[in-house]
């Protein structure tokens, strides 16, 4: 073998040996970490948010800022069916407060959110013939089931009503009063009472003339009464005091000096009346209704006096919604189309000219709107420790009469468990036309911590003057 070849052979052997060693070492490393590993899985890793929830209790009726169920917290502000003020002026009422969440609030406040005043329901037409609420009614009860959204109504408890604001000399209500007109209303009742009535006095006292009244008689039949210098009454053959929602339309149309046409439609169909149904006496001078200027009353009429089939109660007991007055005679087609409306929004359009133009429309779907100012009633609020937080911050609340009006925005001391609301009359003498009026203001009880808050809205109550 040549010497050179021998050297090359030795170099080759050396390189091969080194390579083998390196490969072997490398393999050892792979064995150590290629298959070795250690792991800890923290599957319990979690982060939770707390809850800030509020509850109050009035006369053992609780109101919670959110329902007691999973995934229920959204706005965390609840509309409560209770009211902090007793309906009897001069009385006290206790409101228990409980923080029902897992967080302690940074602040707990009580505030009024609108102007205190006499409560009224809105006429949404341009005439704005709003109605002042009197007696006992409950807002935002379930409405006609035919309406798929915002199905609210006004519940009349059998001694509440609304007197409308506009009367003579406004054109629609001035002498001789409506003579060509239609009345439409949704109603639900199981008993007897008045849906609507017209008298020559704004309150439900002091009237000397009354007619144009629609009621459910003691046997459940719908009755419409007019007084063209004689008693006129049209009654449906069937009863509707079945606890279901019904849509009634009455149309009154003078025909000539001797007759008029009065029709009653129920649920879109003509039920009672015929052409020239009403025979007018000579003295009526062609007017189907009594000649006088007056005011409409919702949930009350004076039909208990003088009509042969009177209601057993002058006031309505049950739910009313979408009461509408048209200064025209609705045709059968228009009545059917009105009955077919499936939402308050479409009904509003229908009575605003799409089907017929009304001159008064009371949806009765919203809460009462305070009619400022809040006269006659004042308020004092004390905590469970006895200290006063309104109208003054002091160890004891002052004796009546308090500072006039109700406008609250106070911090409630921490650890307060209850508040006592006491109303009082500012003036001992209430004008006759204010007696029975509802005075109300919306209260908001709320707590806050960071971006969390909880609220309880009380806007469904009143004090009766």
Partner 1 sequence: MTKERLEGQRKKMRLGAFIMALLATIALGVSIYSALGGFSAAIVNNGNSFSSGTLLLEEQVNGGTPCLSSPNVANGITTNINSSCTSNDYGVNPNPGESPGNVVSNTIVLTNTGTLTAPSMTLTPSTTCTVTGNPPGTGPNALSTGSDTTGFCGKVDIQIQLGTGTTASCLYGGASGSPCPTTLSNTYTLASLATNGPITLATNVAPNSPITVVINVELDPSATNADQGLTATLPITWSMP
Site string for partner 1, 355-394 (x = CB under 8 A): ----------------------------------------
DSSP letter for 410, please. Answer: E
User: Which 165-224 positions form the footprint of partner 1 (CB under 8 A)?
Assistant: none
User: Phi first, then psi: what are they for 338, rounded to 5°?
Assistant: -65, -40
Name the residue nearer to partner 1 (CB basis): 24 or 38. 38
Which one, 98 or 170, has the nearer CB to partner 1?
98
Does residue number 450 form part of the binding site for partner 1 (CB under 8 A)?
yes
Task: Count CA atoms closer than 13 A to 137's CA, side-chain side.
Answer: 36
- Residues in Cβ contact with 259 at an 8 Å cutoff, skipping those fewer than 6 apart: 276, 277, 278, 279, 280
Give the shortest CB-434-to-partner 1 separation in angstroms: 40
449 binds partner 1 (CB under 8 A): yes
What is the total count of residues that contact partner 1 (CB under 8 A)?
45
CA distance 157 to 317: 5
Contact between 103 and partner 1 per CB under 8 A: yes
Q: Six-digit token pair at 30?
A: 């792979």
Residues 393-412 contacting partner 1, CB under 8 A: none
Question: Cβ distance 241 to 230 under 8 Å?
Answer: no
| Contact status, residue 184 vs residue 248, Cβ threshold 8 Å | yes
Query: Which residue, 116, 113, 115, 110, is CA-closest to 383?
Result: 110
Q: Of the listed pieces 18-26, 37-45, 295-303, 391-399, which binds partner 1 according to CB under 8 A?
A: 37-45
Judged by CB under 8 A, does residue 446 bind partner 1?
no
How far apart are alpha carbons 378 and 157 in whole angstroms? 26
- Whole-angstrom Cα distance, residue 245 to residue 145? 7
Of residues 452, 457, 458, 464, which one binds partner 1 by CB under 8 A? 452
**Terminal CA-CA length for the chain:** 133
Closest CB to partner 1 among 27 and 372? 27
Residue of 1, 24, 25, 41 that binds partner 1 (CB under 8 A): 41
- Taking residues 45 to 64 in sequence order and writing x for each that binds partner 1 by CB under 8 A, - otherwise, the string is xxxxxxxxx-x------x-x
A 10 A CB-CB count for 346 gives: 17
- Exactly one of 24, 25, 33, 353 binds partner 1 (CB under 8 A); which one? 33
**DSSP state, 70?**
T
Secondary structure class of 226 (helix, strand, coil) = strand
Q: Which of 24, 25, 32, 60 binds partner 1 (CB under 8 A)?
A: 32
Tell which one of 1, 24, 25, 40 touches partner 1 (CB under 8 A): 40
Q: List Cβ neighbours of 350 (8 Å cut-off, separation of 6 or more).
A: 337, 338, 341, 356
- State the sign of the Cα–Cα–Cα–Cα dihedral 182, 210, 224, 164: positive
CB of 75 to partner 1, least distance (A): 6
Query: Does residue 265 have a cis bond before it (omega within 30 degrees)?
Result: no
From 8-16, 44-52, 133-141, 164-172, give the range in contact with partner 1 by CB under 8 A: 44-52
- Contact letters (x/-) for partner 1, 60-99, by CB under 8 A? --x-x-xxxxxxxxxxx---------------------x-
Residue 82 or 365 having the CB closest to partner 1: 82
CA angle 148, 154, 158 (to 5 degrees): 140
Would you count residue 4 as binding partner 1 (CB under 8 A)?
Answer: no
Cβ 65 to partner 1 shortest distance, Å:
8
Of the pair 101, 254, the CB lying nearest partner 1 is at 101
Q: Is 333 in the site for partner 1 (CB under 8 A)?
A: no
225: β partners: 213, 233
Give dist(CA 204, CA 191) in Å, integer.
21
Minimum distance between the CB of residue 76 and partner 1, rounded to whole angstroms? Answer: 4
Alpha-carbon gap, residue 34 to 27, rounded angstroms: 10
Q: Quote the CA–CA distance of 409 and 445 in Å, as a whole number.
A: 10
Query: Using CB under 8 A, which of the segments 35-43, 125-133, 259-267, 304-312 binds partner 1?
Result: 35-43
Among 19, 102, 357, 372, binds partner 1 (CB under 8 A): 102
For residue 202, give the DSSP letter: S
**CB 457 → partner 1: shortest distance, Å?**
14
Closest approach of Cβ 138 to partner 1, in Å?
A: 24
Q: Which residue's CB is nearer to partner 1, number 52 or number 323?
A: 52
- Tell me which residues touch partner 1 (CB under 8 A): 32-33, 36-53, 55, 62, 64, 66-76, 98, 100-103, 449-454
């Amino acid at each position: 073998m040549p010497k050179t070849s021998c050297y090359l052979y030795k170099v080759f052997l050396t390189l091969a040996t080194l390579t083998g060693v390196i490969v072997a070492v490398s393999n050892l490393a792979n064995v150590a970490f290629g298959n070795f590993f250690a792991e800890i899985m923290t599957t319990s890793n979690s982060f939770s948010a707390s809850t800030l929830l509020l509850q109050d209790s009035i006369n053992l009726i609780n109101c919670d800022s959110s329902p007691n169920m999973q995934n229920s917290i959204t706005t965390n502000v609840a509309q409560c069916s209770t009211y902090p003020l007793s309906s009897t002026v001069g009385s006290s009422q206790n409101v228990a407060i409980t923080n029902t969440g897992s967080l302690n609030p940074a602040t707990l406040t009580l505030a009024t959110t609108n102007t205190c005043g006499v409560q009224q329901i809105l006429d949404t037409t341009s005439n704005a013939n709003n109605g002042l609420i009197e007696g006992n009614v409950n807002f935002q009860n379930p409405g006609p089931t035919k309406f798929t959204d915002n199905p609210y109504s006004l519940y009349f408890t059998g001694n509440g009503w609304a007197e409308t604001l506009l009367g003579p000399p406004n054109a629609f209500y001035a002498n001789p009063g409506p003579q060509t007109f239609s009345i439409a209303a949704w109603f639900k009742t199981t008993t007897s009472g008045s849906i609507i009535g017209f008298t020559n006095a704004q309150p439900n006292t002091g009237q000397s003339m009354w007619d144009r009244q629609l009621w459910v008689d003691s046997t459940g039949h719908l009755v419409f009464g007019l007084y063209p210098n004689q008693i006129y009454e049209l009654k449906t053959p069937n009863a509707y005091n079945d606890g279901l929602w019904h849509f009634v339309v009455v149309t009154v149309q003078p025909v000539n000096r001797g007759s008029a046409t009065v029709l009653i439609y129920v649920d879109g169909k003509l039920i009672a009346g015929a052409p020239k149904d009403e025979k007018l006496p000579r003295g009526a001078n062609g007017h189907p209704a009594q000649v006088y200027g007056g005011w409409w009353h919702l949930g009350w009429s004076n039909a208990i006096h003088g009509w042969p089939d009177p209601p057993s109660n002058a006031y309505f007991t049950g739910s009313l919604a979408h009461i509408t007055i048209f200064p025209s005679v609705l045709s059968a087609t228009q009545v059917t189309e009105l009955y077919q409306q499936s939402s308050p929004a479409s009904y509003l359009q229908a009575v605003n000219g799409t089907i017929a133009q009304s001159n008064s429309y009371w949806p009765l779907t919203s809460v009462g709107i305070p009619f400022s100012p809040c006269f006659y009633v004042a308020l004092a609020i004390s905590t469970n420790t006895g200290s006063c937080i309104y109208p003054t911050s002091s160890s004891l609340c002052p004796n009546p009469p308090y500072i006039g009006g109700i406008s609250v925005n106070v911090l409630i001391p921490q650890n307060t468990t209850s508040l006592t609301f006491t109303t009082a009359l500012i003036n001992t003498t209430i004008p006759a036309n204010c007696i029975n009026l509802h005075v109300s203001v919306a209260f908001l009880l709320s707590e806050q911590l960071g971006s969390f808050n909880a609220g309880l809205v009380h806007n469904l109550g009143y004090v009766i003057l």
